[in-house]
Amino acid sequence: MKVVNFLVALAVLALAFSSAIAYDPSPLQDFCVASNGTDSAVFVNGKFCKDPNHATADDFFFSGLNVAGDTSNQLGVHINIVDADVIPGLNTNGITLVRIDYAANGGLNPPHNHPRAAELLTVLEGTVYAGFVTSNPDHRLFTKVLKPGDVFLFPFGLIHFQLNIGKTPAVALATLTSQNPGVNTIANAVFGSDPPINPDVLTKAFHLDKNLVSKLQKQVWVDPSE
């Protein structure tokens, strides 16, 4: 009886562990082209999927990632996201591709994290200072100055950033390990929440003057992807 109980417990643990390490669900067929029309959709897996017999090469294609983004905003950065909404054939493949343009002399992709993905950053042009910070209690900072051809990994879920420290515009490509990695820009979330967080919370948490907190909460916080 003890052996049976042990095997049952082991099976339950194995199922729980497999669920814990699974990020995006694995494909259940060769491909699953995302479809917004549920009336003609079949083979549900992640998103509603187009009938494979109706798929075309265009479902797996995107043109325009060579076009520079507009960096004339407060941060001097623009992010162009290529996900399953852009390339429907990416659905269920657990991949998102991003082009990041940084303005010269300080274009910044501010501290943020992806709650559902790790990120691999490849610099194509310019000189980028990139780094990430580990979680509690150590908060270790890992940074590198990246030049064209350099690759840097931001581990799953950790806060990271990039800053163009060159005198010319910079460009990077990022690959994320989820079809829906999510992004949480720290300053936007903390000071730009809707409705605003009680200033007493932020005053104490960040060791700031309450008037400064109120001022920060009234600012417009830029979304780099817009």
pLDDT in tens, 168-205: 999 999 999 988 899 999 999 999 999 999 999 999 99
Please name the residues in contact with 208: beta carbons below 8 A apart, sequence gap of 6 or more.
202
For residue range 93-125, list pLDDT tens digits in order. 889 999 999 999 999 999 999 999 999 999 999
CATH class of 60-182: mainly beta
- Give me the pLDDT at residue 27, please: 58
Please name the residues in contact with 203: beta carbons below 8 A apart, sequence gap of 6 or more.
209, 210, 213
Q: Which pTM was predicted? A: 0.82
**Cα torsion angle, 208, 212, 217, 220, sign:** negative
Give the annotated binding-site residues for Mn(2+). Answer: 112, 114, 119, 160
- Give me the pLDDT at residue 49, please: 82
Give the annotated binding-site residues for oxalate. Answer: 109, 114, 119
- Give me the pLDDT at residue 25, please: 56
Q: Look at the block and give the residue holding tokens 């980028």.
A: 128
- Give me the pLDDT at residue 24, please: 58
pLDDT above 90 (res 46): no
Among 27-31, 50-54, 143-147, 204-208, which is the least confidently predicted range?
27-31
Please give the single-letter amino acid code of residue 210: K
Distance CA 163, CA 57 (A): 37
Please give the single-letter amino acid code of residue 203: T
Tokens of 48: 């509603």
Confidence label for 92 from pLDDT (cuts 50, 70 and 90): confident
Give the annotated binding-site residues. Answer: 109, 112, 114, 119, 160
Q: Where are the domains of the chain?
A: 60-182, 184-225
Task: Compute the CA torsion angle 8, 10, 13, 17 (nearest 10 deg).
Answer: -140
Tokens of 175: 């690959």
